[in-house]
């Protein structure tokens, strides 16, 4: 059985600020990031769908350490965002001062953009990730 | 299924910058376990080894076969287990099933890691490989960051102001360092205060350096045997009363349960159910405190405290000897150290020795302990639970 929405296709779309996922025809749930099956009902009767890229922050951290090769990114803020369509997704919070991010950020609405992580020797190519900014 | 017992144990000192190779570290503790079990290497029918990053640490893959050969378990089946920080526990659980099934009577299980050989930047990179490489690493995923995300979620979900939560987290680290002072195998022998924790380097808000376990080198090993063989070989076999294991996917996919770890709850329910025991029956616990908040989440997931209350339990001393449930009397991952492939085996070593009454001489024995539980978390997605019992 074919993988409907691969990382390659997801990644290419995200680089154009389009967040792609799957919408289940059986239970209606969205799965994003994509998987082989519906993350809710584990069936495969779904189709590729574009998500709004809007959601709200459920949790965050500002990191002062980084993996090898990413030291120049610190400090950076990681957020977990609950998308309007339901799924949670991990990304960064940008256009803010990471050192000033506090618990007040939780619940704030955000809009998706993207940043690209350039390849390292383990990553098998570059990878875009959601880069959220606060909606004023 | 047959009952299975631990009949021999071995444990290295956990440390920074070991001068020994992984095979050497593991061979030493394997022979200690074999000698304690009153067997010879020729009696070992198969070898299981937890080892996570040997490939990166010293360019050594497949350490299990070289270990087996090195200790004279020539040509036996040797298998390596990789489930990040739960690798050692996976290796133990798998071996228990082989002996329980009757396929083998005696097995050696070891775990080894030499993480400090990588240096902190590469270690941080490779540990991040236990998150989702495509969908979560690009955002700067590291394990401190994961538990930092969970700490903020925990604060928010249970309505604990961050300042109060930070104090609770500090209490976890302070206790671990205190007990590690009594453990000669511990990596860190240094008492710390709440103030030391709160003024330490900020790693990933709200997690500070003294909320986190170190990178570690070290090894641990056990010999397990069927009940029949165990009773012939040693005076005090310690039995596996219950075992459990469960998995989970990328952090965001666990959204419905976080900050609870659903796979831990499933794995421990399997253990309790198989043992016919409850959290109230446990006399001690070694749990996965890679970060202080991780210890709190674990203690709740294992059923010892209500959700959102375990930090208070640490502050009140309910997790010490004499408290409701003594936790991490070894010093835990925080201060005993966390050589990731060895950690689960080390936890089994600790609980076995407590149940045999061996820890009195170190001044950290739970008197009359009959049942103990171990809990190990690997990456986003492997949770192992095992209950050991004197009966
Ligand atoms: Zn569905």
Domains and CATH numbers, chain B: 4-119+215-238 (3.40.47.10), 142-213+240-389 (3.40.47.10)
Length in residues, chain A: 136
Angstroms from B248 CA to nearest CA on chain A:
12
pTM confidence score: 0.98
What pLDDT, on a 0 to 100 scale, did the predictor assign at position A102? 97
pLDDT per position as a tens digit, B235-292: 999 999 999 999 999 999 999 999 999 999 999 999 999 999 999 999 999 999 999 9
Contact assessment for residue B248 and residue B146, using Cβ atoms and an 8 Å cutoff: no
The minimal CB distance from A33 to the residues B121, B135, B201 is found for: B135
CA A17, A112, B131, A21 dihedral sign is negative
**pLDDT mean over B181-202:** 98
Confidence of residue B211 (pLDDT cuts 50, 70, 90): very high
Q: Which residue has the tokens 């304690």?
A: B36
Burial B101-122 (b: 16+ CB within 10 A, else e): eeebbbbbbbbbbbbbbbeeeb
Angstroms from A136 CA to nearest CA on chain B:
23
A89: pLDDT strictly greater than 90: yes
CA B128, B131, B135, B136 dihedral sign is negative
Interface predicted TM-score (ipTM) over 0.95: yes
> How high does pLDDT run on average in chain B?
98
pLDDT per position as a tens digit, B61-103: 999 999 999 999 999 999 999 999 999 999 999 999 999 999 9
What pLDDT, on a 0 to 100 scale, did the predictor assign at position A136? 78
Q: Do residue B205 and residue A61 have CB atoms under 8 angstroms apart?
A: yes
Looking at beta carbons, which residues of chain B come within 8 Å of A120?
Answer: 125
Closest CA to A132 of A23, A65, A51: A51
Q: What percent of chain B has pLDDT over 90?
A: 99
Looking at beta carbons, which residues of chain A come within 8 Å of B148?
Answer: 61, 63
B114: pLDDT strictly greater than 90: yes
Q: CB-based contacts of B387: which residues, under 8 Å, 6+ apart? A: B240, B241, B242, B243, B271, B272, B274, B275, B277, B282, B371, B372, B373, B374
Confidence of residue A125 (pLDDT cuts 50, 70, 90): very high
Q: How far apart are CA A23 and CA A32, in angstroms?
A: 9
**Count of CA atoms in the C-beta half-sphere (13 A) of B354:** 31
Q: CB-based contacts of B94: which residues, under 8 Å, 6+ apart? A: B48, B79, B81
Contact assessment for residue B103 and residue B60, using Cβ atoms and an 8 Å cutoff: no
Among chain A residues, the shortest Cα distance to B146 is held by: A61
* Burial class of residue B45 (count of CB atoms within 10 Å of its CB; 0-12, 13-18, 19+): middle
DSSP lists the bridge partners of residue B240 as B388
Count of CB atoms within 10 A of residue B181's CB?
17
φ and ψ of B307, to 5 deg: -60, 130
B360: pLDDT strictly greater than 90: yes
Active site positions of B, annotated: 85, 338
What's chain B's Rg over C-alpha atoms?
19
Give the torsion through C-alpha atoms of B144, B149, B150, B154, to 10 deg. Answer: 130
Q: Do residue B207 and residue A103 have CB atoms under 8 angstroms apart?
A: no
The minimal CB distance from B140 to the residues A35, A63, A68 is found for: A63
Count of CB atoms within 10 A of residue A2's CB?
6
Looking at beta carbons, which residues of chain B come within 8 Å of A78?
Answer: 139-141, 145, 149
Angstroms from A54 CA to nearest CA on chain B:
16
For chain B, the residues whose C-beta falls within 8 A of a C-beta of chain A are 121-122, 124-125, 128-129, 132-142, 144-145, 148-153, 155-156, 162, 201-207, 249-253, 255
Q: How far apart are CA B54 and CA B68, in angstroms?
A: 16
User: Using the 8-state DSSP alphabet, how is residue B380 labeled?
Assistant: T
Q: How far apart are CA B292 and CA B238, in angstroms?
A: 29
**To probe the interface with A, which of B204, B211, B248, B256 has the most A CB atoms within 10 Å?**
B204
CA B234, B238, B244, B247 dihedral sign is negative
Q: CB-based contacts of A1: which residues, under 8 Å, 6+ apart? A: A36, A44
**pLDDT mean over A7-24:** 98
**pLDDT mean over B323-348:** 98
**pLDDT mean over B212-224:** 98
Q: What percent of chain B has pLDDT over 70?
A: 100
Q: How far apart are CA A110 and CA A65, in angstroms?
A: 25
Q: How far apart are CA B234 and CA B27, in angstroms?
A: 22
Counted across chains A and B, CB pairs separated by less than 8 A come out at 116
Q: Do residue A127 and residue B138 have CB atoms under 8 angstroms apart?
A: yes
The minimal CB distance from B139 to the residues A64, A78, A123 is found for: A78
Instruction: Tokens for A57, please give them.
Output: 């922050």
Residues B381, B385, B386: CA angle, nearest 5 degrees: 150
Kindly give the residue spans of alpha helices, DSSP state H, lying in chain B.
Answer: 22-36, 54-58, 63-70, 87-101, 119-127, 143-158, 162-180, 194-198, 227-233, 262-275, 292-301, 310-316, 332-335, 343-356
Distance (angstroms) between ligand 1 centre and the Cα of A42 equals 6
Q: Are strands A19-24 and A30-31 parallel, antiparallel or unpaired?
A: antiparallel
**pLDDT mean over A64-84:** 97
Kindly give the residue spans of alpha helices, DSSP state H, lying in B183-281.
Answer: 194-198, 227-233, 262-275
Query: In Å, how far are A48, B21, B310 from B254, measured between CA atoms?
Result: 22, 38, 21
**What DSSP letter does each residue of B265-318 carry, written as one string?**
HHHHHHHHHHHT--GGG-SEEE---SBHHHHHHHHHHTTSS-TT-HHHHHHHTT
Q: In angstroms, how far is CA B314 from the centroid of its own chain?
A: 19
Q: Do residue A65 and residue B156 have CB atoms under 8 angstroms apart?
A: no
All domains of chain A, ordered by start, with CATH? 1-51 (no CATH), 53-136 (2.40.50)
Q: How far apart are CA A28 and CA A13, in angstroms?
A: 22
Closest CA to A39 of A88, A6, A76: A88
């Amino acid at each position: 059985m074919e993988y409907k929405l691969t990382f390659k296709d997801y990644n290419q779309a995200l680089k154009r600020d389009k967040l792609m996922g799957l919408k289940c025809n059986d239970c209606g749930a969205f799965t994003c990031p994509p998987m082989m099956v519906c993350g809710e009902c584990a069936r495969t009767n779904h189709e590729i769908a574009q998500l709004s890229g809007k959601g709200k922050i459920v949790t965050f951290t500002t990191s002062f350490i980084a993996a090898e090769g990413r030291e120049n990114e610190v400090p950076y803020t990681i957020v977990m965002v609950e998308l309007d369509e339901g799924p949670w997704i991990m990304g960064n919070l940008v256009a803010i001062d990471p050192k000033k991010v506090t618990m007040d950020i939780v619940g704030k609405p955000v809009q998706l953009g993207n940043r690209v992580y350039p390849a390292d020797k383990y990553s098998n190519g570059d990878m875009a990730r959601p880069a959220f900014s606060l909606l004023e | 299924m047959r009952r299975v017992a631990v009949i021999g144990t071995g444990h290295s000192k956990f440390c920074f910058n070991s001068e020994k190779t992984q095979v050497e570290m593991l061979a030493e503790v394997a022979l200690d376990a074999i000698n304690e079990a009153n067997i010879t290497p020729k009696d070992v029918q198969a070898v299981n080894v937890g080892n996570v990053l040997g490939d990166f640490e010293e360019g050594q893959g497949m350490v299990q076969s070289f270990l087996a050969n090195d200790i004279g378990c020539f040509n036996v089946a040797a298998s390596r287990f990789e489930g990040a920080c739960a690798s050692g526990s996976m290796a133990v659980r798998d071996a228990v099933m082989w002996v329980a099934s009757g396929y083998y009577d005696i097995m050696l299980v070891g775990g080894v890691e030499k993480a400090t050989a990588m240096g902190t930047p590469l270690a941080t990179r490779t540990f991040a490989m236990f998150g989702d490489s495509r969908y979560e690493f690009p955002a700067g995923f590291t394990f401190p960051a994961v538990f930092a995300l969970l700490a903020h979620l925990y604060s928010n979900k249970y309505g604990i102001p961050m300042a109060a939560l930070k104090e609770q987290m500090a209490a976890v680290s302070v206790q671990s360092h205190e007990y590690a002072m009594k453990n000669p195998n511990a990596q860190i022998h240094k008492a710390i205060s709440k103030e030391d924790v709160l003024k330490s380097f900020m790693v990933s808000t709200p997690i500070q350096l003294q909320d986190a376990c170190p990178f570690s080198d070290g090894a641990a090993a056990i010999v397990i045997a069927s009940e029949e063989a165990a009773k012939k070989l040693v005076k005090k076999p310690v039995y596996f009363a219950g075992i459990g294991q469960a998995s989970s996917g990328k952090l965001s996919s666990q959204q419905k349960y976080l900050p609870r770890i659903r796979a831990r709850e499933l794995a421990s329910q399997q253990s309790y159910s198989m043992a016919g025991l409850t959290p109230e029956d446990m006399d001690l616990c070694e749990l996965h405190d890679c970060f202080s908040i991780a210890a709190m989440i674990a203690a709740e997931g294992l059923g010892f405290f209500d959700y959102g209350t375990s930090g208070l339990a640490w502050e009140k001393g309910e997790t010490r000897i004499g408290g409701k449930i003594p936790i991490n009397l070894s010093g835990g991952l925080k201060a005993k150290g966390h050589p990731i492939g060895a950690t689960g085996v080390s936890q089994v070593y600790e609980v076995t020795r407590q149940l045999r009454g061996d820890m009195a001489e170190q001044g950290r024995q739970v008197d009359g302990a009959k049942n103990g539980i171990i809990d190990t978390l690997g990456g986003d997605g492997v949770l192992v639970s095992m209950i050991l019992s004197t009966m």
